[in-house]
Amino acid sequence: MPITIKSAEEIEKMRVAGRLASEVLDYIAPFVQPGITTDELDKLCHDHMVDVQGCVPAPLNYAPPGHQPYPKSICASVNHQVCHGVPGGKKLRAGDIVNLDITTIKDGWHGDTSRMFAVGAPSILAKRLIDGTYDCMWKGIEQVKPGAHLGDIGHAIQQYAEANGFSVVREFCGHGIGSQFHEEPQVLHYGKPGTGVVLQAGMIFTIEPMINAGRRDIRMLGDGWTVVTKDHSLSAQWEHTVLVTETGYEVLTVSAGSPPPPAFIRP
Q: List the domain range (segments joined by +) for residue 223.
A: 8-251
d(CA 200, CA 215): 34
* 257 within domain boundaries: no
Average confidence (pLDDT) over 240-250:
98
The reply to whether 258 falls in a domain is no
Please, what is the average pLDDT of the chain?
A: 97
* Alpha-carbon distances of 242 from 40, 68, 225, 262, rounded to whole Å: 30, 29, 25, 16
Residue 259 lies in a domain: no
What's residue 266's pLDDT? 81
DSSP state, residue 37: B
- CATH number, residue 226: 3.90.230.10
Are the beta carbons of 3 and 197 closer than 8 angstroms? yes
In a domain? residue 125: yes
DSSP H or E run through 235: strand 235-237
Count of beta carbons in the 10 Å neighbourhood of residue 108: 12
- Cα–Cα distances in angstroms (integers) from residue 40 to residues 28, 74, 227, in the given order: 10, 11, 21
Identify the CA nearest to 190 among candidates 151, 143, 244, 242. Answer: 151
pLDDT at 86: 98
pLDDT digits (tens, 9 = 90+) for 171-227: 999 999 999 999 999 999 999 999 999 999 999 999 999 999 999 999 999 999 999
Q: Is residue 265 part of a domain?
A: no
SS3 for 139-183, per residue? HHHCCCCCCCEHHHHHHHHHHHHHHCCCEECCCCCEEECCCCCCE
Q: How many domains does the chain have?
A: 1
What pTM was estimated for this model as a whole?
Answer: 0.97
How wide is the angle at C-alpha 78 spanned by C-alphas 117 and 69, nearest 5°?
115
Q: Is residue 216 a part of any domain in this protein?
A: yes
Instruction: Indicate whether 262 belongs to any domain.
Output: no
Q: With bands split at pLDDT 50, 70 and 90, how would you rate the model's confidence at 1?
A: confident
In a domain, 263, yes or no: no
